[in-house]
Structure 1
Amino acid sequence: MVQHQSDPSERAALVVAARDSIVKGSRSFATASKLFDAATRERAWLLYAWCRACDDIVDGQDHGHGASHVADAEARVAIIRGKTTAALAGRVVGDMPFDALRVVAAETRLPPRFAHDLIDGFELDAAEWRPRSANDLYRYCYHVAGAVGCMMAVIMGVDPADDDTLDRACDLGIAFQLANIARDIEEDDRVGRCYVPEEWLVEMDIPPGQHMKPPFRDRLVVLARRMAASAALHEASARVGAARLPARARWAVLAAAGIYGDIAREVAARGAHAWDHRVTTSKAAKLGWVGKAGVAALRPVPVTQRDARLWTRPR
C-alpha cells in the first residue's frame, strides 16, 4: 500500500488547525501541552484533534460542548473507523483530524491497536452501553481515555513494548476519565447516560434512573467520592511512570495530572453540591500546577511496583 508523506506546508496547516482545536476543546490540556518540546507539543495537538473530532462526531457536539442524542451513532462510528483505518495506513483522508492522525502515526510509528481500542469505546457509547460492575467501569475508562494515555506515551518516546510504562500512562488516562465521570454525572443524566456502575447504585439502594433526585444525593456523593479516590490511586501510579519520560514531557504530564486531579478532588470536596455548577480549574490554579510540576519533575521518584489493586489494560 502506498504511504503518502505530508509535505511541510500540509503539516504546518494541520498543526495550526490542531492547536486551535485543543485551545477550544480543553484549556487544561492546552496549558499542559505548552510544556512539551516543540516536536512533542505539535504531535500532542495532532493526536488531540483526532480524539476530539471522533468524540464530537459520535456525541453530536462541538469540542466537547452541547452533547445531544444522535439517531445514527453506530453509523457514525463506522465512518470514524473507516477514516481512521485509512489514516493509519498512510492514505490522505481529506478530513483535518484524520489527516492529523495520519501524520502523527507516521512520525511516531503509533501502534494502530490503541486507536482502534479508543474507537471501541465510542462503539460502547453508540450502543448505549452501561457499566454493571466496577470492572466494566474501568474497561470503559480504558477504551475512552486509557488508550489515549498509551498513545500519548508513544508520542513522548515510550517504547510500545514497554508494558509497565504504558500501564502507568493508561492509569493517568483512567484517572482523567474517572474525574470526568464524577464531575459530569448530572450532565450525563440529562442526555440519558449513566456511567456509575449498576452494582454501586444497587449497593446504595438508589433506584434505576433516580440517582440525581434530591432524596438520593447524599448516597450519590459516596459513589462520586469513591471514583475520586480511585482516580487518586491511578494518578499516583502514573506519576511513577512519568519519572521515566524526558524532562519536559515529565513536566507536562505532572502538570496535567495535577490540573485534572483537582477536578476529582473538588468534586469530592463539594459533596452534595458537586453538580450545582460544573467543576472547573481556574487559570491561576493551572499556572500553580505548572510551577509545582516543574519542581516535582526535578525530584527523584521511588521505584515501586504498580499497585495490584489497579485494573490492568488488555494486552
Structure 2
Amino acid sequence: MADSARGYRLAEAVARRSGRTYHLAARLLPSDRRRAIHALYAYARLADDIVDDPGAPLEQAHALDAMESGLRSAVAGASADGVSRDAADILAALAESVDRFQIPMNTFAAFNRSMRMDLPGDPLFRNRYVDFADLAEYTYGSAAVIGLQLLPVLGADVADPDVAAGAALLGDAFQLTNFLRDVGEDAARDRIYLPLRELAAFGVDEQALFHDAATHHTSEPLRRGVAHLIAVNRDQYRRTRGAIAALPPRTRPAIVAAARSYSAILVQIEAQDHDVLARRAVVPVRRRIGHAVASLSGRP
C-alpha cells in the first residue's frame, strides 16, 4: 500500500535537492499548500529525469506511461503499478493533493505530451523550434500548465481568465529563463530550445551554436541573441504582475519570491557578459533569501 506521508517527505527532498528556488519560495506557504507544491514539483522532476537521463527511448516511453497511468490509478484510489516504491509514494501524495485542491487532471496529460516531445523515436519528438509560436506547443505542457496547476493550490480564482493567462505566462517565463541558462546542457543532448528564427537575426544558426557549445565559448553573435531573448523574457515577467497581484495575500509572497529569484538569473547572465556556455548562471543563496524576505510585502 502506497504511503502518502512518506511520499510528501520524498517530494520535499526532491524539491530541496533539485528545485532550490521553488523550495525556498514554498516555505512561505501554509504547510498543506507547501506539501502540494512539493508533490507537483517531484512529479515533474521524475518525469523530466526520465527523458533527460541517457537510455533507450522505448524504455523511457514505457516509464513515462507508467508514471501517467500510476497517477490516474492513485487518484482513483488504486495502486500504482510499474513504478518504484518511492515513485508510488510520491504519486499517492500527489493524488491526495489533486483531490484536496481539485487540480485538473488534463494538465498532467498536457505535461506528459511535452515530455514525449523530448523523446527520440516518439511520434511527437521535437528538438528544434523555429519561432516562439512553434515553441509554445512544447512550453504549454512543460511550463504553462504547471502555472495552471498551482492556481487552485494557491487559492486563486481559477475562473478568472486574466489570472489563468498570467499563471500560464509565468510558467513560460520560468521556462525561457531555464532555456537561456541551460543552452550548453541542452546542446549536449542535441536540443535547441531557443527559437532558431530569433537567433538567426543575430547570425547564429545551428552549426554556430553547436560549435560554441562544443568549445564552451559564447561567440559575440550568440551573446547578442541571448541579450535579445533576455529582453523578451523580462517582458514576459512584466506582463505577469497583474495576475500575481490578484493572488490571495496569504499565498502571493511565495510566487513573488519565485518570480524575483528566477528573473534574477537573467541578471546573472548579464553579469557574465551573456556568456551562457562557460559556466551556469546561479543566483546566490543569500540573494534568494533576500527575495523571499522582500516578497512578504506582497508587491510583485
Same fold judged by TM-score > 0.5? yes
Partner of 1:156: 154
What amino acid does structure 2 have at the position aligned with 1:284? R
What amino acid does structure 2 have at the position aligned with 1:136? D
Partner of 1:276: 278
What amino acid does structure 1 have at the position aligned with 2:236? H
1:83 Cα deviation after fit:
2.1
Pick aligned residue for 1:74 from 61, 64, 73? 61
In the TM superposition, structure 1's runs of 4+ consecutive aligned residues that sit over 4 Å from their partners are none
Aligned positions, number: 284
Partner of 2:288: 286
1:280 Cα deviation after fit:
0.8
1:14 Cα deviation after fit:
2.0
Partner of 1:34: 27
Secondary structure of residue in 2 paired with 1:28: helix
Partner of 2:201: 203
Which one is further off, 266-275 or 25-34? 266-275
Partner of 1:312: none
What amino acid does structure 1 have at the position aligned with 2:200? V
1:274 Cα deviation after fit:
2.8
Cα RMSD (Å): 2.2
Cα distance, 1:207–1:168 mapped onto 2, change above 3 Å:
closer
The TM-score with structure 1 as length reference comes to 0.83
Residues 259-287 of structure 1: per-residue CA shift (max 9 Å, x gap): 01111232234234232111111111111
Pick aligned residue for 1:89 from 73, 76, 97? 76
1:23 Cα deviation after fit:
0.6
What amino acid does structure 2 have at the position aligned with 1:244? A
What amino acid does structure 1 have at the position aligned with 2:13? D
Note if contact 2:244-2:255 (Cα within 8 Å) is conserved in structure 1.
yes
1:16 Cα deviation after fit:
1.3
Note if contact 1:150-1:170 (Cα within 8 Å) is conserved in structure 2.
yes
1:175 Cα deviation after fit:
0.9
Question: For 2:25 and 2:179, how far apart are their aligned partners in 1?
Answer: 21
What amino acid does structure 2 have at the position aligned with 1:176? F
Cα distance, 1:85–1:255 mapped onto 2, change above 3 Å:
same
Partner of 2:95: 102
Question: For 1:293 and 1:161, how far apart are their aligned partners in 2?
Answer: 25
Note if contact 1:114-1:148 (Cα within 8 Å) is conserved in structure 2.
yes
Q: Give structure 2 stretches of 5+ with no counterpart.
A: 120-124
Residues 202-247 of structure 1: per-residue CA shift (max 9 Å, x gap): 3333342331435972111222223222221222222221222222
Partner of 1:240: 242
Partner of 1:142: 140
Answering whether residue 254 of structure 2 is matched by residue 252 of structure 1, we say yes
Note if contact 2:218-2:278 (Cα within 8 Å) is conserved in structure 1.
no
Q: Give structure 1 stretches of 5+ with no counterpart.
A: 61-67, 302-315
Residues 112-151 of structure 1: per-residue CA shift (max 9 Å, x gap): 1111111111011112432122212233222211111110
Question: For 1:25 and 1:90, how far apart are their aligned partners in 2?
Answer: 29
Cα distance, 1:103–1:260 mapped onto 2, change above 3 Å:
same
Residues 63-120 of structure 1: per-residue CA shift (max 9 Å, x gap): xxxxx35433433333333223323434332612322221111111111111111111
The TM-score with structure 2 as length reference comes to 0.86
